[in-house]
Amino acid sequence: MSAGVGVILCVTNISQAQTPPSRTVVFSEVVKLSQAHQSDDVILGYLRNSGASYSLSADEIIYLNNQGVSQRVIAAMQSQPGAASVPPPAVVPPPGTVPPPSSVPPPPGSPPADFNSFHDQLAPDGSWVDVAGYGPCWRPAVVAANPEWRPYYDAGHWVYTDDGWYWQSDYPWGGIVFHYGRWAINERYGWVWIPGYNYGPSWVCWRHADGYLGWAPLPPEARFEVGVGLTFHGRVGVDLDFGLGVGLFTFVGYDHFWEHDFRRFVVPRDRAVLVFRGSRLANDFRVVNGRFYNGGLGRERIGELTHHEVRVERVAVHERGFEERGRDHGAPVRDERRDGRDGRDGKDGKEGRGFGEKP
C-alpha cells in the first residue's frame, strides 16, 4: 500500500510540473511581485519557471501597466518560453518616395520632413524595422543597450517656447523623434518610433499630482489633423487620457522639473502607482497660428510650483535634426522681448483655443 501511495504522489508531482499555472494565477503573482518591489529579473525568473506565455489583450496590458508592472515584464509575458528576448532586427530599406500628408510645418529653415530624410538621418543611430500594424519604424540603439529606456526621459530637458513645452534633447537624433511622429512599445523590439510629419514642440500627455509633475509619450492612436486638432479614437478634447497607464509616465517632484537628465530623480515605480492614482490630467492642446501648441499645466503655473522664472525661448535650427536645439554653444537662446503678455503663449485665448472648447 505504501508503495502504491508513493507511485501516486510521484505521478501527481510530474503532472503538476508539466501543467503551467492558470492565467489568473500568473497575473495575480506577477502583480504581487511587482507591488512587493521585486526586481524585473526576479519576476522574469518566475515567468520562466511557470512556463506560461500569453497573447495579451489591450485591456490586459493596460491593467498590468496600471498595477506597476514594467514594460520589460509585460513583453516577456507575451514571449514564447525559451525564445530569444529581442532577435536582431531586419533593416527596412527606404521606399523610393513617400510623400507626407498635409502637415503642420516645422520651424522656418528646417530640412524637409519626409520619410526619406528621416530614414537617412536616423539610420546611423538605430535600426529600421517592420512592425505589424505600423510598417517601417525606427528602433534607437539605446533601447538595445538599456531595456529600461523610454522617450522624454534622459539626455534632455524642458524649455518653454511660443509653441508651449518643448523637449530639448541632447541626443543627435532628438530633433526628429521627439518633435515628429509617435512612440509605441512593441513586444519584440521595445520602444519604437513611428514616423509622422506634423511638427510639435513635444508629443506628450501631462498629469499633475500634489508635489509632482508627470508626462508620457502620446500613443500612435493620438492623431493630429490640420483643421481638426488632436483626436483619440475619433474623440476630440483636452480631457483625454489616451489610454496611458502609470508604467508609461515619468513623474518627478516640483524641485526636479528643470533637471537636464531625469534618471536620478524619477519617482520609483511603487510610489509612482500612488502618485498616478492621485493625479489629474493637465493637458492644454491648441492650434496657434496653424501650429500645434502643447501648454501642459501652463507657463505661469509651472513657474509658481517650481519657484522658477519661465522665459520664452527661441527654437534654433541646426544642420542635423529639423529644429534640434533651441540653444547656441550649449546656452539657451532666449527671446527677452517675449514676456508672455503678448498672447503668443496661448494663455489669453487671443491666438488659439483649446481642443474641444467653444470658440
**Following DSSP, what letter does each residue of 314-358 receive, concatenated?**
PPPP-SSSTT--SEETTEE-B-TT--S-SSTTSSSSTT--BTT--
Question: What per-residue confidence (pLDDT) applies to 40?
Answer: 76
* Predicted pLDDT at 107: 63
Neighbours of 254 (CB within 10 A): 17
Q: Which three cell numbers stand for residue 299?
A: 507657463
What's the CA gap between 60 and 69, in Å, rounded? Answer: 11
**24 and 135 share one domain:** no
Same domain for 36 and 121, yes or no, is: no
Q: Within this chain, do residues 235 and 325 fall inside the same structural domain, yes or no?
A: yes
Which residue range is the domain that position 44 belongs to? 20-77
Q: Which three cell numbers stand for residue 334?
A: 532666449
Q: Give the per-residue pLDDT at 29.
A: 79
Q: Are residues 146 and 69 both part of a single domain?
A: no
Same domain membership, residue 152 and residue 54: no
Residue bearing cell 534632455:
156
Cell numbers placing 137? 519604424
The answer as to whether 304 is a domain residue is yes
What pLDDT, on the 0 to 100 scale, is given for residue 228? 74
Structural domain contains residue 92: no
Same-domain pairing of 144 and 197? yes
CA triple 29-31-36, angle to 5 deg? 95
- How many domains, in total, are found in the chain? 2
Query: Which residues pair with residue 283 across a beta bridge?
Result: none
128 and 62 within one domain: no
Instruction: Calculate the CA dihedral of residues 151, 152, 153, 156 and round it to 10 degrees.
Output: 130
If asked whether residues 218 and 126 sit together in one domain, one would say: yes
Residue 7 lies in a domain: no
DSSP SS3 for 280: strand
The answer to whether residues 130 and 57 belong to one domain is: no
Residue ranges in the chain whose pLDDT is less than 70: 1-24, 35-37, 51-54, 58-59, 62-63, 65-67, 79-112, 237-238, 316-359
